[in-house]
Amino acid sequence: MLLPIPTALRRIPARSTLFPPAAEPNQRSPPMPIAPLLTVSILALLCPAAAMAQGLVLSGIETIPHQFSSEMRWRKPPEPSLSARTKLFVQNVSEQPIAIDGPLRFDSLTASQLVAANAWAWRDPSWENGFELPAGALRVLRFNGQSSEWGTGSNHTLDYKTLAVDQPAKEPQILFDIDTPEVWIESMGFLSPAESLRPTSVLVTLRNNLEKNLELKSCRLWFPKDNDSYHTLFPYAEKYDVQTWNADQNVPAKELTGLTIATEPLALTSMALEIVLSSDSQPEPIRLWASMKVRPNTFDISGGWTANQVKNRMSMTNEEYLKTLALLHVNTGQIEEVAGFTDNPELYAKYPMKRFNRLGDRQRYDSDAMLPNIHAVEFLGEPQYGGGRPVPAQEVFDKLAPYESWRLPTSVTLSEERTWRFYAGLSDYPHYDAYRVIAPAADAWTKYDRWNGESIRWGAPLETIGSMTRSLREQSRPVSIAYWSQGAHDGWGGILSPRRGSPTPQELRAQAWQGLGNGIMSLYWFNLSIKSLAKFPDLLDPIRRVGREIDLLRPILQSGTAYGYERIVQDAKPSWDLSSIASRDSALLVANDLAYTIDPKTRTFRFENRPASFRFALPTWLQSATSNGGLECFEIDADGPKPIKYRIDQKAIEIEAQAGVNVVGVYVVTRDKSLRQRLAEQATALDQREKALGFDPIGNPEDRKQLESWVD
């Protein structure tokens, strides 16, 4: 008879420190953990019958509660009941391998039955019929709820059978609760040295929503022995001396903090992270868990569907078009193989373009030579629409499952914030598309009462891009997200429509920076075909300027995380959206103007230059720098850094934009005293790079005519 496992042990069991993964070729074997090896677990000492008989324990839970934005307007309102996305981290704490016989049952039902009953949106089927788990190893059981019965505040059971040699099958049970987290891993990313794709730094941010400070005790990474056995994770490296970005082990109350974990070069494979925190007011440690596929943080700019047949010729074999994309700082396209371009080594080397498509040939694309040229796997279209019916989330999971063992990240295009919580967690690098003027949209534009109750059909509030970005980011944690931003596209609007068929330069810039300021990790323009650029030449320079700003700010965008957001309301009307991206040494501060108006004749949004003052909260690790050498602040745009009037107190920075803000104000506050000069030098280098292209349809009318001649 099995003894019941005490609740504390069930929630926070002891962990084996055995069996680090085998080293990859050309990689040093990881050092053994600092803690002494345990031949008998603490669980066995405190509850020997349970430990030896059961072996499998729940080491932790990662819960992401479902949500949807109250700002969005829909033809059909969102289903109000909320569920949660859940990961169960189960570990074999015995000294022998365990064979789990399936099917596993949750509240007496199989995972397949829960999906069929719409209690779950999707589950990972790889574990539901059983699995083997070596001694000391970990397995992540992940699923996404759909009904409120699987939301926060719910209690559940996991039943399974164990098969043991010369022993009858055991039928243990694990109890678990899906609770609203009070402390969690907000984001996780990876930085690689310039010469390698294998990361050597893990960037982690922690959100402490408690009223008390916590202390960081240790961090542990879990990795598989190889990519093809990615399901089974082993303890890799445990570190006890990691400091937060505050230069101590303190995780402040009601605050976000970050930490950087230095490692040996990491494989591009599935992994898990375990964080141990402590508090003076409670005896038991707090264990935080998260898992994802290792993907180096890279901020890419896509031109969308850049490969088109024009005048019986492939557009990407035209060097003037390739030069134009390079001028716009585009480095990625919705391409796989383009005859005359990707198979032309000289042309492709001159105008490199990352691939963003199905990429189904593993031997070709999952190779060391090709990986630097890959953005992500994406081939499912918009599954929430699905060509007439929504594609079930489980079907999306199943189509992406073959890529799980690959080193390539997967991505899914989400399009409707009302229901995308059910599609959360399906891919390694999710993104969404939403355009705020003239284009088709999922939300109901006439239901917004944004402009004194006036209803319009041709546009939606531009700031809803920020709302959707924050929503998808929170639903997708800890992975990063990307965004299809509205660019120049020749397929919107009609001949008789008084509304232009693409955004104005101001509308384009506002949408892009709502995404950038709220934490996207890549931006995809829709859609910079050669026809689109020729039809809307006034958008060339706005797109170029956003591209330059991303190039200048890429180090902060790649190493930072969304920190703060505030809506400023004046005279009962929205005035500014203030958001920030914080990295270890700097913070990017963004003020989006919301006082734009409607031009009834052209049916466009109009912005005016407005003087303003802003107050941005500083993260605690930059607050400490105010008394240790000080902080520097400057404005930044496509032309480089500019002086700005500012004042810093211990917890915030006040910025005086006396010359005014047109559409968006972007600022950098940093403790890196050399950053401003480096950015000025980089802006000069961008000038030289653009001039070296020898083709400028923005500043040279003859070059513009040459570009436009392709579509006459």
- CB neighbours of 275 closer than 8 A, spacing ≥ 6? 185, 204, 206, 216, 218, 219, 287, 288, 289
Residue 25's pLDDT band, with cuts at 50, 70 and 90, is very low
**More confident call, 180 vs 626:** 180
pLDDT at 46 over 70: no
Query: Where among 266, 296, 326 does a domain terminate?
Result: 296
pLDDT of residue 453: 82
Pair of tokens at residue 576: 């500014």
695-706 pLDDT, tens digit per residue, is 999 999 999 999
**For residue 541, what is the DSSP state?**
H
Whether residues 246 and 229 share a domain: the answer is yes
CA–CA separation, 10 and 450 (whole Å):
50
468-484 pLDDT, tens digit per residue, is 999 999 999 999 999 99
Whether residues 398 and 516 share a domain: the answer is yes
485-540 pLDDT, tens digit per residue, is 999 999 998 777 789 999 999 999 999 999 999 999 999 999 999 999 999 999 99
Whether residues 326 and 288 share a domain: the answer is no
pLDDT of residue 170: 62
Average pLDDT rounded to a whole number, residues 252-277: 97
Helix, coil or strand: residue 9: helix
In this structure, how many other beta carbons lie within 10 angstroms of the beta carbon of residue 112?
Answer: 15
Residue 484 dihedral angles phi and psi, to the nearest 5°: -80, 110
Residue closest to 51 by CA, chosen among 117, 101, 4, 18: 4
pLDDT at 56 over 50: yes
Least-confidence region, from 98-102, 415-419, 616-620, 681-685: 98-102
Whether residues 376 and 410 share a domain: the answer is yes
Alpha helices per DSSP H over 477-529: 505-516
Query: Where among 296, 315, 332 does a domain terminate?
Result: 296
pLDDT of residue 55: 85
Whether residues 281 and 310 share a domain: the answer is no
pLDDT of residue 262: 96
Whether residues 176 and 186 share a domain: the answer is no
Average pLDDT rounded to a whole number, residues 286-313: 96
**More confident call, 259 vs 627:** 259
| Residues shown for the chain | 712
pLDDT of residue 624: 76
Least-confidence region, from 36-45, 355-364, 610-619, 623-632: 36-45
Whether residues 153 and 290 share a domain: the answer is no
Percent of the chain with pLDDT over 70: 91
CA–CA separation, 155 and 426 (whole Å):
24
Helix, coil or strand: residue 200: coil
Residue 695 near residue 710, CB atoms below 8 Å:
no
Helix, coil or strand: residue 570: strand
Query: Where among 296, 322, 344 does a domain terminate?
Result: 296
CA–CA separation, 459 and 436 (whole Å):
5
- CB neighbours of 392 closer than 8 A, spacing ≥ 6? 122
End-to-end CA distance of the chain: 83
**More confident call, 10 vs 260:** 260
Least-confidence region, from 66-80, 220-234, 492-506, 555-569: 492-506
pLDDT at 143 over 90: yes
pLDDT of residue 494: 76
Percent of the chain with pLDDT over 90: 84
Average pLDDT rounded to a whole number, residues 276-280: 95
Average pLDDT rounded to a whole number, residues 71-81: 93
The CATH code of the domain that includes 252 is: 2.60.40
Q: Residue 276's Cα: distance from chain center in Å?
A: 23
pLDDT of residue 40: 31
pLDDT at 15 over 50: no
Residue 349's pLDDT band, with cuts at 50, 70 and 90, is very high
Average pLDDT rounded to a whole number, residues 187-197: 94
Whether residues 672 and 590 share a domain: the answer is yes
Count of structural domains, the chain: 3
pLDDT at 93 over 60: yes
Average pLDDT rounded to a whole number, residues 225-230: 96
CA–CA separation, 303 and 356 (whole Å):
11
| Domain, as residue range, for 167 | 1-180
Whether residues 172 and 186 share a domain: the answer is no
Residue 121 near residue 150, CB atoms below 8 Å:
no
pLDDT of residue 29: 35
pLDDT at 3 over 80: no
Whether residues 686 and 662 share a domain: the answer is yes
Residue 712's pLDDT band, with cuts at 50, 70 and 90, is low
Least-confidence region, from 48-52, 53-57, 213-217, 247-251: 48-52
pLDDT at 206 over 60: yes
pLDDT of residue 164: 60
Residue carrying structure tokens 């508090």 = 279
Average pLDDT rounded to a whole number, residues 239-265: 96
**More confident call, 4 vs 464:** 464
pLDDT at 47 over 60: no
Whether residues 115 and 43 share a domain: the answer is yes
pLDDT of residue 641: 98
pLDDT of residue 527: 94
**CA distances, 590 to each of 120, 516, 517, 631 (Å):** 38, 9, 6, 17
pLDDT at 452 over 90: no
Whether residues 123 and 190 share a domain: the answer is no
